[in-house]
Amino acid sequence: MIEPPRNFLDVTSSVTGRAWVDRLDAAGTRTATAISQRADLPEILARILAGRGVGVDEAKSYLEPTIRELMPNPSTMTDMDATAERLARAITDHEQVALFGDYDVDGACSCALMARFFDHFGIEATVHIPDRIFEGYGPNVAAMDKLIDGGATLIVTLDCGTTSDGPISHARSRGIDVLVVDHHLSDHDLPPATALVNPNRPDDISGLGYLCAAGVTFMVLVAANRVLRNQQVTGLPDLLAMLDLVALATVCDVVPLKGLNRAFVIRGLEVARRGTNQGIAALALAARVNGPLNPYHLGFLIGPRINAGGRIGDAALGTRLLTLSDEHQALVIAAQLDELNSERQRIEIDAVEEAARVAEAEIGGGEGPPVLVLASANWHAGVVGLIAARLRERFERPTFAIALHPDGSGTGSGRSMPGVDLGSAVIEAVELGLIAKGGGHAMAAGVTIKPGQMGPFRAHLTERLSATVALARAATALPIDAAMTARGATPDFVHQVERAGPFGSANPTPVFVFPAHRVKFPQIVGKGGHVSFTLTSDDGAKLKAIAFRAAGQPIGDALLSTIGDGVLHFAGTLGIDHYQGREQVQLRVTDLARPKAF
């Protein structure tokens, strides 16, 4: 018999309408106790581990993951050996190589990894990153011709290519070898590439489908290094020194932070903190990062600046920056990307406001459609993914935002929620001829539509995803890891919790509740309508706090109207701000509840 979740602090409906539940059931609590006792770990850390499915015998290795223990033989991936052999031949024959990447962080990092690998052997690979608006996602015939006419004898597609039958067939017809290194979902008809490494291809049984493209690229380079070593090639590159790029892509592509991915991020952050990659170091400076780099910095400060080039500027800027060894050049490009990111933020704010009004009208006073499909000629194609992400968060359902062109066609992006596989639904729509082009993975997808296809696409998503969206939306209870007070939220406590990280997809950031605390000095800050305030407890302890994008929303309204004597239960995550060399804990509020009694 399945035990029903236990309400935390008896909260059945918070300010946002959610129940708060204990992340651990009775069995989980027993596991946490056993972990604490056997591994000699603090109780709260043991609770966090148990709440993420870590067993008693796994606890110590989970806290200290290593690449060596977690990375399988690369050859377990289909076509890996053929890919590695072809890359090694390109190096020993000193061929002219071209790289074709995606315009997001994962694509930029994948291209930078491959470009740095070839550069180590004195080969300067040509890199082509398509223009998001004029070329769209993935290889195209014109770009392939340009690379071939430029002398390339080998083309490697990175973070794309799995569904690019036409362009790859065209390149092969011209006698050029094409290697595909990707992670996106595929249909059963793969393109005629020389070799295609993708853990999500139908005939791959490696179990590595959770890797981002940069993670797959890293494994390809490990395999290529092995081939070269067997051929007695000396002076091979230190691949572990490039793990900062893998960590950046893994965090920004929001792939599950489990298994090998956790090791990639933990070890990659160690590399990044040494500042050896001039591009990452310059972006950290431009983003005014304080303190050692952490996953938050990668995902919310550095990643968006790389993406800004692909969204509204030069799509190749990010890749170029990540391959530079000259500090001055890196600072110049980082400054360009920082300026583009500020412009992107301004464009995004206006577009999200318009999209929210359309969504509210479509939902009305009822339940509304299970998937929002919104379109506008006013939206920049470079920010549709951000619009979709904001509305998915606000309206708690998968969302597509589509930028319409003058001829009625459109390009768009979708963002999903846990338990709803958006990528598969999009690929089905392509196979059924409902949309012109599309692909992606479970949590994100991209589409190209022709005039007249919007209605059939909406109908397909409604039919295909209604049931799973309903289940996902029903599971909106907020899991709580533990209760604590403002006085207990110290830097040492946060560092202790971080041992169970890095946190993100499939390894959720621990949520702590601060029962019966008070709000002091609430105010709206920043362009995004954030609400900052001070949290105080009865014993006089204070904790800096912020609720992102809360102004005008239930959380923001409650904070701004509850000052001084008003008491609330606060739920949120803890992080550390570094200011003038001093560590200060900050609570990032995700929900509030009004106590029923004292």
Backbone angles phi, psi at 280, to 5 degrees: -65, -40
d(CA 122, CA 496): 44
pLDDT at 578: 84
pLDDT at 2: 54
pTM attached to this predicted model: 0.90
Per-residue pLDDT 10s for the chain (598 aa) are: 456 678 999 999 999 999 999 999 999 999 999 999 999 999 999 999 999 999 999 999 999 999 999 999 999 999 999 999 999 999 999 999 999 999 999 999 999 999 999 999 999 999 999 988 888 889 999 999 999 999 999 999 999 999 999 999 999 999 999 999 999 988 778 999 999 999 999 999 999 999 999 999 999 999 999 999 999 999 999 999 999 999 999 999 989 999 999 999 999 999 999 999 999 999 999 999 988 999 999 999 999 999 999 888 889 999 999 999 999 999 999 999 999 999 999 999 999 999 999 999 999 878 899 999 999 999 999 999 999 999 999 999 999 999 999 999 999 999 999 889 999 999 999 999 999 999 888 899 999 999 999 999 999 999 999 999 999 888 789 999 999 999 999 999 999 999 999 999 889 999 999 999 999 999 999 877 999 999 999 999 999 999 999 999 999 999 999 876 679 999 999 999 887 778 999 999 999 999 986 4
d(CA 568, CA 370): 32
Instruction: Give the number of other CB atoms < 10 A from CB of residue 575.
Output: 16
Nearest to residue 562, comparing CAs of 526, 592, 528? 592
* One-letter identity of residue 477: A
Tokens of 69: 């223990």
| Dihedral over Cα of 158, 136, 358, 343: its sign | positive
| Dihedral over Cα of 317, 319, 322, 323: its sign | negative
- Secondary structure in 3-state letters for 121-182: CCCCCEEECCCCCCCCCCCCHHHHHHHHHCCCCEEEEECCCCCCHHHHHHHHHCCCEEEEEC
pLDDT at 565: 65
pLDDT at 598: 47
pLDDT at 133: 81
d(CA 472, CA 474): 5
**Residue 34 Cα to chain centre, angstroms:** 33
Tokens of 281: 């170091």
What is the residue whose two structure tokens read 């993100």?
Answer: 504
**Residue 460 Cα to chain centre, angstroms:** 26
pLDDT at 566: 76
- DSSP three-state, residue 31: helix
Tokens of 117: 């690998």
- DSSP three-state, residue 424: helix
In the chain, what is the greatest distance between 2 CA atoms, to the nearest angstrom? 77
Domains assigned to the chain: 8-20+481-593 (2.40.50.460), 77-274 (3.90.1640.30), 368-474 (3.10.310.30)
pLDDT at 564: 63
pLDDT at 87: 98
CB neighbour list of residue 64: distance below 8 Å, 6 or more residues apart? none
